Structure 1
Amino acid sequence: MATTPYGFWKSPITSDLVVADAVRFEQVALDGDGVYWSETQPQKQGRTFVYRAGGDGEPDRVTPDDANAFSVRTRVHEYGGGAFAVADGVVFFSNNKDQRLYRQAVGGPPTPITAAPTDGAADGLRYADGVVDRRRGRMVCVREDHSGAGEAIATLVAVDLSGATVPRVLVSGNDFYSSPRLNPDGNRLSWLTWRHPDMPWVSTEAWVGDVLPDGAIGQARKVAGGPNESVFQPEWSPDGDLYFVSDRGSGWWNLHRERDGAIEPLVTMDAEFGRPQWQFGASTYAFESADRLIACFVRDGGWTLARIDARSGRLEAIPTGFTDIAQLRAAPGRAVFIGGSPSEAPALVDLDLNAGTRRVLRRAFVVGEDLRRYVSIPEPIAFPTGGGETAHALYYPPFSPDSAAPAGETAPVLVKSHGGPTSAASSTLSLATQYWTSRGIGVLDVNYRGSTGYGRPYRLRLERQWGLVDVEDCIAGAGFLVASRNADPARLMITGGSAGGYTTLCALTREGDKTFSAGASHYGVSDLEALARDTHKFESRYLDWLIGPYPADKAIYADRSPINHADRLSAPVIFFQGSEDRVVPPNQTELMVAALEARGVPVGYFLFEGEQHGFRKADTIRRALDAELYFYAWLILRSGLRF
């Protein structure tokens, strides 16, 4: 084993390897014996395709890879999700380029079933989260109308599967809708809705309406939800009861159902059966039969699969070895989901519930034994932070089977703040994380207060506190590593994307604090006032909750905007930005870059053409990863410190 300073270890995990043949799973659906899923492929310029696997498990691409450059993606809420539905072997999907809905039968080409954009509006009408209504030959889905002036209008609409008639509005009048679901008889529809300034993880309502003979929705009534309740994933049981996840009562996202006009908890435990609804189509439970559910829940940062008796509520864990489970679907005798663990890349798994055996239908990437030797396994940690409270994180120590640091040397650490900010760090194997650890750089992935997975009070700690408690937790986490995990206080860096980029910039401009020696902002917010004025509908009032109403609290917005505190920033920063980002427009980044350049602070800026909010193209991901490493190395070497 070679003795080499931290940060200089040789690693086979290159940026080319990070993006080589890697895919990102988006959505999973079952149709008969077939498993359908969508995956984003960086090597195909970030396009998304639908695949199908039959009984033999061999995947076949459904949507074409041709000159028309179809990509299965919806831009509803900008973050999308729920971009396709399938029934009887026919796939219905939203195409990224024009946001039209298309129908594709087996062996045939995609055929549009919604009208082409008019008046130069490239994506005036957007569709998502559809459910096929076989009885009426239509699909009920969320529609977001950007064709008029002012804010986009959200409705639930019925789309003719043949495309012969124009979509019909079924439910309207509120700011947001999601999760339309038909009961087994097709005579009732459930959905979720919420309104400004709430976000779905703060306050949502579950509604049910009758489907009338002419297909309209009548007798609508609220089932659950309100100002102090977040509802997630309504689903109908095979025998016609409405189930949903809610944080009512216990303060945890637990399973409930409405039966005989009354709501009752099915499972009550200090664990979360829900996820933040940044994207449509998330699923944490499904019915194997009328008597049994298959569900997954998160506790202390790790996900568990379980079977639940619908009569008694008895829960029994199903050992899988996975610590992250998503997109759970079920059918008699089987469960299909996306699973990952600290040593396993995300995989599409088909689990035989009776035999306990599983087939891996597709892996996001393949990790051979030669690379597996370099994997750093994260340690869940809890550490003290401000106000006598506790925060959480995953710590990946520097690790290599071939290298060791000189005796007595302390390790550089990259502190990572996740996006959202209402979200959570995942423990699933990420080569982008191992890129750092295999070179001798620790990674601290912080689940700061405000993250999900730790109950409603923890989730809501960011209320009016964004830019304060998240920063406090990143700094406290770094200090905890210095005190207990051999971290070098002179070589602490901080990085983050989107909301994590904002946390990064706030940490670097915090008055009197010099915890971090450098940072990287990936499409991060620098000017809260500009964000309040310019961002899209879904998040346009998010800041009311995170900061305060605008412009009433304009002074707070100014005080918490890193752009107004560039004079405090002496640590070098590198910025990465997509040219077509509608969530955090490029001017946010460019104002900060200009302010730092004017002061002579070392700064890097990469603007990637054609990228939106979150990078999808292989070349972009590769260049950003290498540039961030080189930026840190050049600056710390330049300052005379080892790295």
Structure 2
Amino acid sequence: MTAEPTSGSPDPAATTVIPETPTPYATALPAEVTARWQARFRAPRVSLPGWAEDAPHRNLYTSDVSGVVEQYAWDRGTDVHRQATDRPNGTLIGTLSPDGETIWWFADTDGDEFGIWMTQPFAGGEDAVAVPEVEPAYPAGLEVGRTLSAIGRSTDDGSELWLAPSGSAPRVVYRHPDPASVDALTRDDELLVISHSEHGDPRYPALRVLRTADDSVVAEKWDGEGRGLHALEFGPRPDDRRLLVGHERRGREELLVWDVVADTEAEIVLDLPGDVTAGWYPDGSALLVGHDHAARSELYRYDLTSGALERLDTPPGVVRGATARPDGTVELAWSSSERPPVIRRADGPVVLSVGDGEPPAAYPVEDRWIPGPGGDVHALLVRPQGEAPYATAFLVHGGPEALDDDSYRARRAAYVDAGYAVVHVNYRGSTGYGSTWRDALTGRPGLTELEDVGAVYDALVAEGIVDPARALLSGGSWGGFLTLLGLGTQPERWAAGIAEVPVADYLAAYEDEMEGLRAYDRALFGGSPEEVHDVYVRSSPITYVDAVAAPVLVVAGANDPRCPIRQIDNYLGRLQELGKEHEVYRFDAGHGSLVIEETIRQVEVALSFALRKIKP
């Protein structure tokens, strides 16, 4: 590799630009170790297949078997698989029409998430623009019915929701400056549910039911400030008016069934400690319930008549998705921190595999509950070989409304292969620990989460697990934001940092990001930068760049609509002006990459940086 100083740096030796070429970036790891961690990324993955309601033998799934994430059609009757999309930067989103005749897929440009819906015959053929009248935008939901389709789009002007009836001109049924989305459609196409945030906070959406014949409002439901409602799906019968809804009236995600015509509801109270979500069994008599608690998940069958709750026998780990087939069998996507992902039936048999073998096993996680300023913080620890204290990588998740869990993570395992302990912190703001925990960062984002990261760091240092002189902070997206903010506000803790697709200059990020994220930021910060300027400044990494003492690697996507490139360049410019040691890797995609070799390249760059700055 040839390292070149960035133009204008007062200290050329302090800045390294990593060339955007596929040339291997030496990590100084033994060849067998490199081969092992790369094999986890290269092993083909596949999503839980979605199936057509009226033709359940026709399925659509996402896979990276070609080396790029694309959409695949699968006829289970003939066991014929066909790659439906083929684009340089991949295709992440797709669905099937109810009759199984048509594949819908979203076409953006180089990962920028801005584009249009396309269609393709299930059996193969020419792609076509699904609804030419709907101009390019960020997607905001899609419901494909039997006689019409509902399409949500988001732009800087706000949200537009369209109905496109077969044989009639498409029309806008909803338009508003605040975020809204298409959520659910009855099987007879007569009623459409949308979610909206007219009350001003997109984190807690309200629901509205529209009659598709004339766009009239049938029903409304909102639980008030700080309580969101999420439309999951209508019941499976053609005349079903039961809508399955997620609510958080008691401080966690729970379920209710809402008859949208009668405007009556029945809460489903389950004796389970964590968050729950659900889908219908095909006959409408029961729900397939997913239960998430303490970074793990499990499945249940809930009988709507008797109220009986039956646990399905799945091994400990994480279920990424599950569906009940017309014959009553349940299929799910499962993995654990040690075992790689598999698409299987709940009773054991593998349903779908696209590779010849499975990737290397990974490492088990240990649970730690550590006292923090806002309550006990759940952390996950993975130990490498050798004796503590360890050089440790704190890998913080994005979101912030997400979590780290007991699932198979190739990136986590790569750091352990390299000799580092890994710590994940499900800080305040994470999901899975109740709405109070999730919402605790409101008005003080970034700094709140880092208090919890710091509490876990201090406890593990005191326990003799983490070597305080060899601690790395790293994350992507919101985790990248926390990394840069942590390097500036906690410089005494971190020996190096790796920030991937981060928020780095929040004022500039707000100006350039997609409107849906601006609305989210206004809710999170308590207003726009014009209204609460100091709050944005207080939580912005660029505010604290003078205090950064550790070397930092920044990985940035040229077409990223979520963490745009200009605000990253602003931060890098300040690092250059101050002569701070840093390296930069840019890639030609958006908020991450769907190309497996590009992902491997990014991990290779990160590991090389870590190994040069912090010896395990």
Q: In which range does the TM-score fall when normalised by the shorter chain?
A: 0.7 to 0.9
* C-alpha displacement of 1:303: 0.7
* C-alpha displacement of 1:84: 2.3
* C-alpha displacement of 1:306: 0.6
Aligned to 2:363: 376
Equivalent positions of 1:543-562 (< 5 A) are 543-549=521-527, 550-562=529-541
CA contact (8 A) 2:98 2:145 kept: no
* C-alpha displacement of 1:391: 1.3
For residue 63 of structure 1, what is the amino acid of its counterpart?
A
Deviation track 1:274-332 (CA, whole Å, cap 9, x = no partner) reads 4xxxxxxxxx4232422211121101111111100112333221111152223332233
* C-alpha displacement of 1:203: 1.1
Aligned to 1:77: none
Deviation track 1:82-101 (CA, whole Å, cap 9, x = no partner) reads x3232222123134247333
User: Distance between the aligned counterparts of 2:180 and 2:481, measured in 1?
Assistant: 28
1:411 aligns with 2:390: yes
For residue 620 of structure 1, what is the amino acid of its counterpart?
E
Aligned to 2:116: 100
5+ residue gaps, structure 2, are 1-27, 110-114
1:157 aligns with 2:162: yes
Specify which of 406, 413, 423 is matched with residue 444 of structure 1: 423
1:84 aligns with 2:89: no
1:206 aligns with 2:207: yes
* C-alpha displacement of 1:603: 0.6
Aligned to 1:394: 380
Equivalent positions of 1:87-486 (< 5 A) are 87-97=98-108, 99-114=115-130, 124-125=136-137, 127=139, 129-134=141-146, 136=147, 138-144=148-154, 146=155, 151-160=156-165, 166-173=169-176, 175-195=178-198, 197-199=200-202, 202-211=203-212, 215-238=213-236, 240-259=240-259, 260-268=262-270, 269-274=272-277, 284-321=278-315, 323-332=317-326, 333-351=328-346, 356-362=347-353, 366-367=357-358, 371-372=360-361, 375-387=362-374, 389-398=375-384, 404-405=385-386, 409-484=388-463, 486=465
CA contact (8 A) 2:381 2:423 kept: yes
For residue 255 of structure 1, what is the amino acid of its counterpart?
L
User: Distance between the aligned counterparts of 2:266 and 2:58, measured in 1?
Assistant: 32
Aligned to 1:281: none
CA contact (8 A) 1:498 1:524 kept: yes
Aligned to 1:603: 582
User: Distance between the aligned counterparts of 1:184 and 1:449, measured in 2?
Assistant: 39
User: Distance between the aligned counterparts of 1:232 and 1:189, measured in 2?
Assistant: 14
* C-alpha displacement of 1:487: 1.9
* C-alpha displacement of 1:621: 1.2
Shift of the 519–117 alpha-carbon distance from structure 1 to 2, 3 Å rule, reads: farther
Aligned to 2:599: 621
User: Distance between the aligned counterparts of 1:614 and 1:172, measured in 2?
Assistant: 30
For residue 409 of structure 2, what is the amino acid of its counterpart?
S
Shift of the 357–564 alpha-carbon distance from structure 1 to 2, 3 Å rule, reads: closer
User: Distance between the aligned counterparts of 1:347 and 1:159, measured in 2?
Assistant: 37
User: Distance between the aligned counterparts of 1:546 and 1:440, measured in 2?
Assistant: 37
* C-alpha displacement of 1:463: 0.7
Shift of the 595–185 alpha-carbon distance from structure 1 to 2, 3 Å rule, reads: closer
Q: Secondary structure at the match of 1:89?
A: coil
Shift of the 514–497 alpha-carbon distance from structure 1 to 2, 3 Å rule, reads: same
Shift of the 173–426 alpha-carbon distance from structure 1 to 2, 3 Å rule, reads: same
Deviation track 1:333-389 (CA, whole Å, cap 9, x = no partner) reads 1223322222222233344xxxx3433313689535xx32xx2101222111125x1
Q: Secondary structure at the match of 1:471?
A: helix
CA contact (8 A) 1:322 1:341 kept: yes
| Larger RCO: 1 or 2 (CA < 8 Å, sep 6+) | 2
User: Distance between the aligned counterparts of 2:506 and 2:264, measured in 1?
Assistant: 43
Q: Secondary structure at the match of 2:479?
A: helix
Shift of the 423–605 alpha-carbon distance from structure 1 to 2, 3 Å rule, reads: same
Shift of the 204–27 alpha-carbon distance from structure 1 to 2, 3 Å rule, reads: farther
Aligned to 1:36: 59
* C-alpha displacement of 1:410: 1.8
* C-alpha displacement of 1:13: 5.0
For residue 96 of structure 1, what is the amino acid of its counterpart?
A
CA RMSD after TM alignment: 2.9
* C-alpha displacement of 1:220: 2.9
* C-alpha displacement of 1:527: 0.9
Q: Secondary structure at the match of 2:153?
A: strand
CA contact (8 A) 1:197 1:542 kept: no
1:534 aligns with 2:535: no
* C-alpha displacement of 1:159: 2.6
Greater CA deviation, 340-349 or 93-102? 93-102
Aligned to 2:4: none
For residue 371 of structure 2, what is the amino acid of its counterpart?
P
Q: Secondary structure at the match of 1:476?
A: helix
Q: Secondary structure at the match of 1:25?
A: coil
Shift of the 181–247 alpha-carbon distance from structure 1 to 2, 3 Å rule, reads: closer
Deviation track 1:217-260 (CA, whole Å, cap 9, x = no partner) reads 22332034332321123322245242334334321111101245
- Structure 2 length-normalised TM: 0.86
Specify which of 28, 44, 47 is matched with residue 22 of structure 1: 44
Shift of the 328–264 alpha-carbon distance from structure 1 to 2, 3 Å rule, reads: same
In the comparison of the two structures, how many residue pairs are matched? Answer: 576
Q: Secondary structure at the match of 1:541?
A: helix
Greater CA deviation, 574-583 or 587-596? 587-596
- Structure 1 length-normalised TM: 0.82
* C-alpha displacement of 1:51: 2.8
User: Distance between the aligned counterparts of 1:582 and 1:498, measured in 2?
Assistant: 11
Shift of the 412–304 alpha-carbon distance from structure 1 to 2, 3 Å rule, reads: same
For residue 210 of structure 1, what is the amino acid of its counterpart?
R
User: Distance between the aligned counterparts of 1:226 and 1:130, measured in 2?
Assistant: 26
CA contact (8 A) 1:33 1:55 kept: no
User: Distance between the aligned counterparts of 1:497 and 1:194, measured in 2?
Assistant: 27
Q: Secondary structure at the match of 2:281?
A: strand
Q: Secondary structure at the match of 1:289?
A: coil
User: Distance between the aligned counterparts of 2:331 and 2:285, measured in 1?
Assistant: 18
* C-alpha displacement of 1:59: 5.6
* C-alpha displacement of 1:491: 0.8
Shift of the 386–97 alpha-carbon distance from structure 1 to 2, 3 Å rule, reads: closer
Shift of the 62–12 alpha-carbon distance from structure 1 to 2, 3 Å rule, reads: closer
User: Distance between the aligned counterparts of 2:586 and 2:175, measured in 1?
Assistant: 39
CA contact (8 A) 2:52 2:100 kept: no
For residue 73 of structure 2, what is the amino acid of its counterpart?
Y
Q: Secondary structure at the match of 1:172?
A: strand
CA contact (8 A) 2:48 2:332 kept: no
Aligned to 1:78: none
User: Distance between the aligned counterparts of 1:30 and 1:189, measured in 2?
Assistant: 19
Shift of the 527–42 alpha-carbon distance from structure 1 to 2, 3 Å rule, reads: farther
